[in-house]
Amino acid sequence: MLTDPFPERVPERITERVTERVTASFVSHRQRRYLLAAAAFTFAVAVQGAARAEEPVQKSPPSWSADPAVVEKLSRSRPDFNYRESEVPDYELPDVFGPLGKPANAAGWPERRAAILELFRSHVYGHRPTIDAEISYERAEPPVDPTRGQARGQRVFCVVTKGDRTFKFPFYLYVPATATADKPVPLIIFINNRTPTDPEAMLETPNDFWPLDMIIEAGCAAAVFHTSDVDPDRADGYLEGIRGFLAEGQPRARDAWGALSAWGWGASRIADYAIENVPQTDPQRLAVVGHSRGGKAALWAAAEDPRFAISYSNNSGCGGAALSRRRFGETIARITSSFPHWFCEHLTTYAGSEPALPVDQHQLMALIAPRSAYVASAAEDLWADPRGEYLSLVHAAPVFELLGKPSIQTATMPPVDTQRVEGPTGYHIRSGGHNLTRDDWGRFLRFAAGRFSL
Ligand code: GTR
């Protein structure tokens, strides 16, 4: 059992200076502990020096660490899972550049990227099939406008036709009333995994999970679809969703796509629709957002579809932003037995043997580089491993760097309820539990304003 690798109480300002760029994928967990111990020592010397000179030591807010009371409570309620930093097993991450190693320069990245993508497809999310079907769109009656004149809405069906069979899924798209083809706006596509969106209900009660009012006010167009309309969120829903439809009822292969990938595919079909049919939206400024299982899908959506300029994952945890090798909170064994339909079947091979998995989730962030990856955690959502979610971004930094877009590299986490933005990457940890709130959206939209020059 190892001690916490991150000296939480060390003021961040000083730790940052000493540990910056200690993030390359070839630095093992053990080496990092050594470097961080050195950082702590340097800090102690600095503090001593400051005390001698009788200069006031500048106080920075402490970086986040889990509330011991929450750790205790969760450890009691789920004793089979680890919530203690001190019990995170020693681990060594796969090289962030994948099996081909670090290239001499950015020109070598596409080949590395392709190899990593293939590993994720084969071992984690599955391969999407070749789509031998026709895809078209049907507009239904326009929906009511909960923004009261600030936006124009559409209700659309994506229609997939194969021979004489069809599969349809609906989505909503709202464009700010001021957007024109000459002044197109970013489009933020939300993968909704909770209560289906109902604009009628939003007339009465604003929707905090998908706050259309905030998105429109920020100057962006907004689209939303429900996960289960594309592929049911049930282990026995295969034949009712797009996967079963395209496979013509054939059982799925061990490395075929899971529901997370199908949901990401749905987001890409909305992107297609907007690019072709909604000139008020800007194809260069597309974002995809998801919470929890939707957050896992949003990351993979951006890995599969390079048109997404930003991928936001909120509390995405295991199989999302969190490093699997930390085995903190939810594990591969748990997720593949509770939600076997989310991933490719092959992922079950790594239940209890994470070190054998040829990739880890920092490489999922790397697949998004040099585009934007935004990770959000919640302080009490230890099941999703906030530190593991943050570290994925940090360990992807060498790829962002290679591609000329330096990203978050600071090993210590930011304090709760603050936002850290570095180049194309962003992170925050909100106080409270597992949820997507207006507070999270506020930070997402601030980040979008920066990236999309709003
Ligand atoms: C949990 C699951 C998580 C997360 C969450 C959600 O039960 O263990 O991986 O995805 O559901 O989607 O809300």
Measured in Å, residue 292 CA sits from the centre of ligand 1 at 6
For residues 29 and 95, state if they share a domain: no
Is residue 401 pLDDT above 70, yes or no? yes
Per-residue pLDDT band for 4 (boundaries 50, 70, 90) equals very low
Q: How far is CA 358 from CA 256, 325, 353, in A?
A: 17, 11, 11
Q: In the predicted model, what is the mean pLDDT of residues 165-179?
A: 98
Question: How many angstroms does the Cα of residue 190 sit away from the middle of ligand 1?
Answer: 17
Give the ligand 1 atom nearest the CA of 317. Answer: 9
Task: Compute the mean pLDDT over every residue in the chain, rounded to the nearest whole number.
Answer: 90
The answer to whether residue 18 is domain-embedded is: yes
- Which backbone phi and psi does 57 adopt, to 5 degrees? -80, 125
Quote the ligand 1 centre to 180 CA distance (angstroms). 39
Instruction: Tell me the two tokens of residue 7.
Output: 């000296």
User: Which mutation among 81, 339, 437 tests ligand 1's pocket best, with the greatest number of atoms within 8 A of CB?
Assistant: 339
pTM of the entire predicted model: 0.89
For residue range 332-379, list pLDDT tens digits in order: 999 999 999 999 999 999 999 999 999 999 999 999 999 999 999 999
106 and 181 part of one domain: yes
Q: Would you say the CB of residue 317 lies under 6 angstroms from ligand 1?
A: yes
Instruction: For residue 412, name the pLDDT band (cuts at 50, 70, 90).
Output: very high
What does the pLDDT read at residue 251?
Answer: 86
Ligand 1 proximity of 291 Cβ (cutoff 6 Å): no
Share of the chain above pLDDT 90, in %: 85
Which ligand 1 atom is at minimum distance from the Cα of 338? 8
Q: Report the residue among 263, 293, 316 best suited for mutation to probe ligand 1: largest number of ligand atoms under 8 A from its CB.
A: 293
pLDDT at 122: 98
Question: Does residue 175 have a pLDDT over 60?
Answer: yes
Note the pLDDT of residue 25: 36
Q: Catalytic residue positions?
A: 292, 434
Q: Atom 10 (ligand 1): residue with closest C-alpha? A: 293
Q: Do 32 and 120 fall within a single domain?
A: no
Is 366 near ligand 1, meaning CB less than 6 Å away? Answer: no
Residues 32, 88 within the same domain:
no
For a mutational test of ligand 1's pocket, the pick from 291, 292, 313, i.e. the residue with the most ligand atoms closer than 8 A to its C-beta, is 292
pLDDT digits (tens, 9 = 90+) for 191-213: 999 999 999 999 999 999 999 99
State whether the beta carbon of 292 lies less than 6 angstroms from ligand 1: yes
How far separated are the first and last CA of the chain, in Å rounded? Answer: 48
Q: Are residues 336 and 282 in the same domain?
A: yes
Structure tokens at 41: 């020592």
**Residue 208 located in a structural domain:** yes
Range of lowest pLDDT (58-72, 182-196, 224-238, 276-290): 58-72
Is 62 inside any structural domain? no
**Residue 1 included in any domain:** no
Which atom belonging to ligand 1 lies closest to the Cα atom of 330? 8
Return the pLDDT at 438. 98
Looking at residue 57, its pLDDT comes to 59
CB of 318 shorter than 6 A to ligand 1: yes
pLDDT at 89 over 70: yes
The answer on 210 and 145 residing in a single domain is yes
pLDDT for the residue numbered 40: 41
CB 293 near ligand 1, within 6 Å: yes
Does the pLDDT at position 295 exceed 90?
Answer: yes
Residue 449 has pLDDT above 90, yes or no: yes
CATH, residue 268: 3.40.50.1820
Question: What is the mean pLDDT of the segment spanning 392-410?
Answer: 98
Rounded CA separation 29/4 (Å): 11
Same domain, 155 and 207: yes
Is residue 32 within 6 Å of ligand 1 at its C-beta?
Answer: no
Q: Which of 200, 201, 199, 269 is nearest to 230 (CA)?
A: 269
Same-domain pairing of 24 and 105: no
Say how many Å lie between the CA of residue 378 and the centre of ligand 1. 13
Q: Which range marks the domain in which residue 32 is found?
A: 7-54
**Going by CA atoms, what residue is nearest to atom 6 of ligand 1?**
292
- The alpha carbon of 12 and the centre of ligand 1 are apart by a number of angstroms equal to 31
Instruction: Give residue 139 CA to ligand 1 midpoint distance, Å.
Output: 33
Task: Return the pLDDT at 350.
Answer: 98
Q: Is position 280 within any domain? A: yes
In a shared domain, residues 130 and 35: no
Q: Residue 335: CB within 6 Å of ligand 1?
A: yes
pLDDT band at 56 (very low <50, low <70, confident <90, very high): low
Residue 372 or 33, more confident: 372
Residue nearest to atom 13 of ligand 1 (CA): 292
- Ligand 1 atom with minimal separation from the 318 CA: 9
Interval between CA 163 and ligand 1 midpoint (Å): 36
Same domain flag for 284 and 339: yes
At 34 the pLDDT is 39
Does 59 fall in a domain?
A: no
Considering its fold, how many domains does the chain have in total?
A: 2
Query: What is the mean pLDDT of the segment spanning 386-394?
Result: 98
* Residue 271 maps to a domain: yes
pLDDT at 41: 38
pLDDT at 76: 98
Rounded to the nearest angstrom, the distance between the alpha carbon of 293 and the centre of ligand 1 is 6
- Is the pLDDT score of 23 beyond 80? no
Q: What is the pLDDT of residue 375?
A: 99
| 84 and 214 assigned to the same domain | yes
Q: Which ligand 1 atom lies nearest to the CA of residue 291?
A: 12
Q: What is the pLDDT of residue 249?
A: 81
In a domain, 34, yes or no: yes
For ligand 1, the distance from its centroid to the CA atom of residue 394, given in whole angstroms, is 23
Residue 45 predicted with pLDDT over 70: no
Instruction: Look at residue 165 in the predicted model and tell me its pLDDT.
Output: 97
- Domain shared by 130 and 194, yes or no: yes
Mean pLDDT within 127-147 = 96
Dump pLDDT digits (tens) for 98-124.
999 999 999 999 999 999 999 999 999
Pairing of strands 151-162, 165-176: antiparallel
